[in-house]
Amino acid sequence: MTGFDEMVTAAVEKVIPSVVNISEVKLMKDAYLHVHPVPGVGSGFIINEDGFILTNAHVVLGSQDIKVALEDGRIFPGEIRGLDTIKDLAVIKIKASGLPVPEIAKNNDLKIGQMAIAIGSPLGLVGGPTVTAGVVSAVNRSIQTEATFMEGLIQTDAAINPGNSGGPLINSRGEVIGVNSAVIPFAQGIGFAIPIQPAVEIADQLIKH
């Protein structure tokens, strides 16, 4: 491997143990107002060794049955501890301790063009997390999603797909810089992440309240 390859690999290896797969079931109404259980998948990452997990609110909102799969293969039921639908963030709690926690970037002084690596479980594929790499394409972006208006986002061309939502966006040092959150349908190479510092602050508030 080249020095660049080794750098990327080392960064990913630092974070992957803390990345989780989230599977859930939501009750949805069809055109005839019949209610049906609909399975879904998403990603998240551990932010506290005692079982607190950060993800997107849209991943778990309205969920009836949440299962969290750790990188080591263990599966736990998940409990929603708090939701912020405006910022699209949620905290899930599982009954586990001594869990691996990734390093959080100390600041959000991001530079356009710096490396950005997205980790998650796109489409709920089996076999562990998927890694995609790109760059920070822009900062302080604002977008309108189906559920809310989001601002201050990181834009990246690292592939973010259905199921990747809630997973970490990391830098070349293996530090989390954002929470993968949104992708624009039909637009290639455009994904968005919530900067990690405000995300962690919101998560702390959700845990306390």
Strand partners, 67: 23, 77
Task: Tell me the pLDDT band of 155, cut-offs 50, 70 and 90.
Answer: very high
Distances (CA, A) of 26 to 29, 36, 147, 158: 10, 8, 16, 28
Q: Which tens digits make up the pLDDT trace of 161-198?
A: 777 889 999 999 999 999 998 766 656 678 899 999 99
Contact 128, 177 (CB under 8 A): no
Number of H helices, E strands in the chain: 3, 14
C-alpha 113/C-alpha 137 separation (Å) is 6
The confidence score (pLDDT) of residue 17 equals 95
* DSSP notation for 9-28: HHHHHHHGGGEEEEEEEEEE
pLDDT, one tens digit per residue, over 15-60 is: 999 999 998 665 556 566 555 555 568 899 999 999 999 999 988 8
First to last CA, the chain: 47
Residue tagged active-site, from 58, 63, 121, 181: 58
Give the β-pairing of 175-183 and 103-104: parallel
Q: Look at residue 125 and tell me whether its pLDDT is greater than 60.
A: no
| Domains located in the chain, CATH noted | 13-101 (2.40.10.10), 103-201 (2.40.10.10)
Catalytic residue status for 34: no
What pTM was computed for the model? Answer: 0.89
Indicate whether 134 pLDDT > 80. Answer: yes
Predicted pLDDT at 169: 97
Mean pLDDT of the chain: 86
Q: What is the pLDDT of residue 159?
A: 85
Does residue 18 carry a catalytic annotation? no
Per-residue pLDDT reduced to its tens digit, 74-111: 999 999 999 999 999 999 999 999 999 999 998 667 99
Among 88, 121, 137, 181, the active-site one is 88
Residues 114-119 have a mean pLDDT of: 95
Determine the pLDDT at residue 164. 82
List, for residues 186-195, the tens digit of each pLDDT value: 566 788 999 9
Tell me what percent of the residues of the chain surpass a pLDDT of 70.
85
Residue 43 is a catalytic residue:
no
pLDDT of the residue at 90 = 96
**pLDDT tier at 64 (50, 70, 90 boundaries)?**
confident
pLDDT for the residue 98 = 96
Q: What angle do CA 90, 96, 98 make, to 5 degrees?
A: 105
pLDDT at position 13 is 94
Closest CA to 168 of 53, 78, 45: 45
Whether residue 154 has pLDDT greater than 60? yes
